[in-house]
Amino acid sequence: MAKKKKGYKKKKDNLTIHFMPYSEISKEDTIGRIKKIMGLVLDNKIIILQGRLKPEEEVKLIENSMTLIGNISGFQGIEIAGISDENEHRNLFNKIRYNIARILVGEQDSITIIGPASVVKDITRDPRKIELMLKKK
């Protein structure tokens, strides 16, 4: 018997924005972080994450989303964009201080927005602002 595809909560009327402080993912490994994020995305929530994922985590998130498209009905993937305080205008001493702080406490001065593509039409970054465009119902 064909396996019934898992339902994706597409017809939810309310738009939920979930603020995720960095502390919520700081102790998780890559798999834990992706599981947490995908769980919320599949629940049709838009996540505002304090901090950034590592490049290898972002690529895993994309890979994971691609695996789910076609296996979870209605799921079309994700929209993701990050913005952080630019490092380029600091002097050398401040750059070093800033980078040490980032290593110690993570990139907490960044914001990452992640949402399901069925809800979020587009996220544009240009370059110091992020615009989130939602799909019309």
Partner 1 sequence: MIKIIRNFAQRLFSGFFRKKGEIKLGFYGSPNAGKTSLANRICQDWLGEDLGVVSNVPHETRKIQIKEKVIIEKNGKKIGFKLIDTPGIATKIDFEDFMKFGLSKKEAQIRAKEATQGIIESIKWLDDVNAVIILIDSTLNPYSQVNITIIGNLVARNIPILIVANKIDLKKSDVKKVQGAFPEYNVIGVSAKSGENIEEFYEELFKLVKKKR
Residue 51 lies near partner 1 (rule: CB under 8 A): no
**Are the beta carbons of 64 and 27 closer than 8 angstroms?**
no
Q: Name the strands in the sheet holding 111-116, side by side, starting at the edge strand that comes first in the sequence.
A: 16-20, 45-50, 111-116
Among 2-10, 43-51, 61-69, 95-103, which window interacts with partner 1 (CB under 8 A)?
61-69
- By beta-carbon proximity to partner 1, the closer residue of 9 and 125 is 125
Residue with smaller CB distance to partner 1, 13 or 86: 86
Identity of the residue, 51 or 82, whose beta carbon is nearer to partner 1 in the bound complex: 82
We find the least distance from the C-beta atom of residue 23 to partner 1, in angstroms, to be 23
Question: CA 77, 129, 50: angle at the middle one, nearest 5?
Answer: 65
Q: Which amino acid is at 15?
A: L
Report how far residue 63's alpha carbon sits from residue 66's, in angstroms, rounded to the nearest whole number.
Answer: 5
| Identity of residue 130 | I
Q: Does 44 bind partner 1 (CB under 8 A)?
A: no
Choose among 38, 113, 53, 23: nearest CA to 122.
113
State the number of CA atoms in the 13 A half-sphere of 74 facing the CB.
15
Q: Specify the stretch interacting with partner 1 by CB under 8 A; choose among 10-18, 29-37, 68-76, 98-106.
A: 68-76
Q: How far is the CB of 3 from partner 1 (least distance, A)?
A: 17
Single residue of 26, 63, 96, 99 touching partner 1 by CB under 8 A: 63
Residue 1 CB, nearest approach to partner 1 (Å): 22
> Judged by CB under 8 A, does residue 79 bind partner 1?
yes
